[in-house]
């Protein structure tokens, strides 16, 4: 486990968008919000305009009231009362607007969450290979894209509306201030330049920092999930790893905090300076206005308008500039969302892929070379192999020989770096990966255990039949898991997890299966697809008891009869009946043939088979042949 707290190269993240980039992202955010909640967006726009004008309308009303009062203090007439009522009504509207805006912001965010989640995972699901998902940078991006995508467009749009509102407010107050003190307009406007500079720089700094800490945040999430994970709990407790991982978590957290604190300190210094500057300007202006009023050149109403206008102009300008900085920051983060959504497919797919008909001749690997990345070692080194249609092939070899890798290439999760794989003579790269996979039934060595019911856990093997109890039960019987499932409290409807409630209305947790039982469920999942062209079983019985293994292989033998199948197993007794046994070593095929031929040849296979067989004989001293099942795994 990497212990470093350094994040991904920030240079690879966008920290400047430019005018075109900003306009493009802004338009994309608007379109996203419009597609999520058009009504909310329009209402927000309307409120923006209203909120932009009522600040200075209130200031003008206040001046009128003060002037009327100071001109004739003793006799407030009906028109004065009307002005007061108007001002009061405006106050109510301002209060209501804030509440409505908050409500609309939340509504927009909810709607966006649905749209963004759909698009984001749509984009991730479009990646038909595995390589992209194995890139830490891509994982960091997905995490940022999820956060930035959910809240970002809303922030951008509300921020952009905030800027519009700020400009309207600013224009109104400047108009009012121009009438009273034109010089003050110039002073207040000049003061905005440092504010703009500070906010834009801060926005960029924050966006860069968010990208920089994204890796550490993902690691922090990993450690905290680990600490509360039921799966990890046994080892964590036995090896006393709680404090160890909590320490690692704290280290990531400290790193994240340090990065955030550095930006917060800069923000604090900038905001403090700006606040002092703004206050000095406002105070100086006030002294100056009072001086003018003392000499009779301004009325009391003018002075109240002046005070409101200076404060209003400053607030509008600062608000606008702050919003601009936040929008800039949200746009930079939104870039990650757009990058993930626009990410091209990780496996090249032909514009018009060839159809993938039923397998008639066979699968063929021609001089296949493969490594997981350019900086990784070669795993397959020129594998040439034929898997004839209708025949059963067994792949054997030491740990790390490349057997599962070969299976992943057959499923086209990766493309060979050199050489090619052919389906009835057609290069897999010319087929649609989805169509190809529809023709395969696979039990992976690292199969999934889903927090779903037993029936669903089998049904996901073929979602078209997830509601077909007869088909599911048939697959379960073949895999030898019908009896254990039938004995569960709710049979096939039993929830196979204790982490969730099957039904939130009935707080009753599910059941946990044993390792071998889970493996049988995974086999049943693949056998639900038994009608497919090629059945691939990667260590399907490694966790089964001797009886279950014997029964499973008896069923599989029948199923594989006359069908194309690939079986990977370390227990050589289970592969001896295969039509062709292929021995992989150091990424290459070193032997290939039937059991009897390979034994007669006395090569690698025969040596390994002999080793396993000796495991049964040693100690017995009876010299009998190995059992048809079980044995030492190698
Ligand atoms: N996703 C991956 N990224 C990088 N290397 C990998 C990846 N998956 C497997 N490898 C490496 O490829 C090699 C072959 O692994 P593979 O799983 O194909 O072997 P195997 O023959 O199935 O082994 P076993 O019998 O232990 O299941 C191993 O050295 C492993 O470290």
pLDDT in tens, 13-37: 555 667 787 788 888 888 888 888 8
CB 373 less than 6 A from any atom of ligand 1: no
Q: Taking Cα atoms as reference points, which of 218, 251, 553 lies closest to residue 392?
A: 553
The full set of domain ranges for the chain reads 20-341, 359-439+570-634
Could you please report the per-residue DSSP string of 233-291? HHHHHHTT-HHHHHHHHHHHHHHHHHHHHHHHHHHHHHHHHHHHHHHHHHHHHHHHHHH
Burial of 575 (0-12, 13-18, 19+ CB in 10 A): buried
Question: What is the CA angle 609-611-615, rounded to 5?
Answer: 115
CB 400 less than 6 A from any atom of ligand 1: yes
**Residue indicated by tokens 């049943």:** 524
Once rounded to an integer, what is the mean pLDDT over residues 254-261?
A: 94
Quick: pLDDT tens for 367-385: 999 999 999 999 999 999 9
CB 445 less than 6 A from any atom of ligand 1: yes
Residue closest via CA to ligand 1's atom 29 equals: 400
ipTM above 0.85, yes or no: yes
Question: How many whole angstroms from 221 Cα to the centroid of ligand 1?
Answer: 26
Question: How many whole angstroms from 399 Cα to the centroid of ligand 1?
Answer: 8
Question: How many whole angstroms from 555 Cα to the centroid of ligand 1?
Answer: 28
Q: How far apart are CA 191 and CA 405, in angstroms?
A: 64
Distance of CA 506 to CAs 32, 81, 491, 500, 509, Å? 38, 62, 17, 11, 9
CB 369 less than 6 A from any atom of ligand 1: no
Q: What is the pLDDT of residue 205?
A: 87
CB 377 less than 6 A from any atom of ligand 1: no
Please give the structure tokens belonging to residue 84.
Answer: 């007061």
Q: Taking Cα atoms as reference points, which of 586, 568, 588, 587 lies closest to residue 578?
A: 568
For 359-439+570-634, CATH number out of 3.40.50.300, 1.20.1290.10, 3.30.1490.20, 3.30.420.40 equals: 3.40.50.300
CB 397 less than 6 A from any atom of ligand 1: yes
- Which ligand 1 atom is the nearest neighbour of the CA of 407? 18
CB 634 less than 6 A from any atom of ligand 1: no
Quick: pLDDT tens for 538-576: 988 887 888 888 888 888 877 777 789 999 998 888 888
Question: How many whole angstroms from 448 Cα to the centroid of ligand 1?
Answer: 18
Q: What is the largest CA-CA distance in the chain?
A: 124
Judge: domain 20-341, CATH 1.20.1560.10: yes
Burial 57-93 (b: 16+ CB within 10 A, else e): ebbbbbbbbbbbeeeeeeeeeeeeeebbeebeeeeee
Question: How many whole angstroms from 173 Cα to the centroid of ligand 1?
Answer: 69
**Is the pLDDT reported for residue 245 higher than 70?**
yes
Q: What is the pLDDT of residue 354?
A: 92
* Phi, then psi, of 384 in degrees rounded to 5: -120, 125
Q: What is the pLDDT of residue 15?
A: 55
Question: How many whole angstroms from 401 Cα to the centroid of ligand 1?
Answer: 7
- Which ligand 1 atom is the nearest neighbour of the CA of 408? 18
CB 508 less than 6 A from any atom of ligand 1: no
Question: How many whole angstroms from 445 Cα to the centroid of ligand 1?
Answer: 11
**213, 336 in Cβ contact below 8 A?**
no
Distance of CA 405 to CAs 105, 173, 383, 392, 438, Å? 48, 69, 12, 19, 19
Could you tell me which residues come within 8 angstroms of residue 606 by beta carbon, excluding any fewer than 6 positions away?
Answer: 598, 599, 600
Q: What is the pLDDT of residue 504?
A: 67
Residues in a beta bridge with 630: none
> Across the chain, what does the average pLDDT equal?
84
**Residue indicated by tokens 């990993």:** 222
**128, 316 in Cβ contact below 8 A?**
no
CB 587 less than 6 A from any atom of ligand 1: no
Once rounded to an integer, what is the mean pLDDT over residues 315-329?
A: 79
Sign for the pseudo-dihedral over CA of 336, 341, 343, 345: positive
**104, 44 in Cβ contact below 8 A?**
yes
Q: How far apart are CA 161 and CA 43, in angstroms?
A: 11
């Amino acid at each position: 486990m990497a212990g470093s707290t350094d994040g991904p190269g920030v240079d690879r993240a966008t920290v400047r968008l430019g005018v075109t980039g900003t306009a493009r992202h802004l338009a994309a955010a608007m379109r996203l919000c419009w597609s999520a909640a058009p009504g909310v967006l329009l209402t927000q726009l309307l409120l923006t305009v209203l909120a932009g004008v009522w600040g200075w309308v209130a200031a003008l009303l206040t001046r009128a009231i003060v002037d009327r009062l100071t001109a004739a203090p003793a006799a407030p007439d009906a028109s004065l009362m009307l002005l007061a009522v108007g001002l009061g009504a405006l106050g109510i509207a301002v209060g209501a607007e804030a509440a409505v805006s908050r409500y609309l912001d939340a509504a927009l965010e909810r709607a966006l969450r649905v749209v963004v989640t759909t698009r984001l995972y749509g984009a991730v699901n479009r990646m038909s290979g595995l390589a992209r998902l194995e890139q830490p940078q891509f994982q960091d991006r997905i995490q940022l894209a999820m956060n930035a995508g959910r809240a970002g467009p809303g922030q951008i749009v509300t921020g952009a509306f905030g800027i519009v509102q700020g400009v309207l407010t600013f224009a109104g107050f400047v108009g009012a201030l121009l009438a009273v003190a034109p010089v003050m307009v110039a002073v207040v406007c000049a003061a905005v330049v440092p504010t703009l500079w500070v906010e834009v720089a801060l926005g960029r700094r924050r966006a860069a920092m968010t990208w920089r800490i994204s890796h550490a945040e993902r690691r922090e999430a990993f450690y905290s999930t680990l600490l509360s994970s039921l799966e990890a709990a046994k080892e964590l407790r036995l090896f006393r790893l709680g404090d160890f991982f909590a320490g690692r978590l704290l280290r990531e957290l400290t790193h994240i905090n340090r990065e955030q604190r550095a930006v917060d300190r800069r923000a604090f210094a900038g905001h403090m300076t700006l606040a002092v500057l703004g206050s000095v300007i406002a105070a100086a202006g006030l002294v100056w206005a009072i001086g003018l009023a003392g000499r009779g050149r301004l009325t009391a109403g003018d002075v109240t308008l002046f005070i409101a206008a200076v404060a209003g102009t400053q607030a509008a300008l600062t608000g606008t500039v702050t919003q601009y900085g936040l929008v800039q920051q949200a746009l930079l983060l939104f870039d990650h969302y757009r990058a993930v959504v626009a990410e091209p497919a990780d496996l090249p797919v032909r514009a018009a892929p060839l159809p993938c008909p039923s397998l008639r001749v066979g699968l063929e690997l021609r001089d296949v070379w493969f490594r997981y990345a350019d900086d990784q070692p070669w795993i397959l080194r020129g594998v040439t192999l034929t898997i004839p249609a209708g025949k059963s092939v067994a792949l054997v070899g030491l740990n790390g020989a490349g057997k599962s890798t070969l299976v992943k290439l057959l499923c086209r999760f990766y493309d060979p770096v050199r050489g090619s794989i052919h389906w009835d003579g057609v290069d897999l790269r010319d087929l649609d990966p989805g169509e190809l996979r529809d023709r395969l039934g696979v039990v992976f060595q690292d199969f999934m255990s889903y927090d779903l019911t037993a029936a669903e856990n089998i049904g996901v093997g073929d979602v078209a039949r997830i509601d077909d109890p007869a088909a599911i039960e048939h697959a379960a019987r073949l895999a030898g898991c019908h009896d254990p499932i039938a004995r569960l409290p709710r049979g096939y409807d039993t929830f196979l997890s204790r982490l969730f409630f099957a039904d939130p209305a009935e707080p009753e947790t599910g059941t946990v299966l044993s390792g071998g039982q889970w493996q049988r469920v995974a086999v049943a999942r693949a056998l639900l697809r038994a009608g497919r062209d090629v059945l691939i079983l990667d260590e399907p019985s490694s966790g089964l008891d001797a009886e279950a293994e014997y029964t499973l292989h008896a069923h599989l033998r029948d199923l594989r009869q006359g069908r194309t199948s690939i079986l990977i197993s370390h227990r050589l007794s289970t592969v001896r009946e295969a039509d062709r046994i292929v021995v992989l070593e150091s990424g290459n095929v070193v032997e290939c043939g039937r059991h009897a031929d390979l034994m007669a040849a006395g090569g690698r296979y025969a040596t390994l088979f002999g080793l396993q067989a000796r495991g049964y004989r040693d100690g017995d001293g009876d010299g009998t042949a190995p059992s048809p099942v079980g044995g030492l795994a190698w």
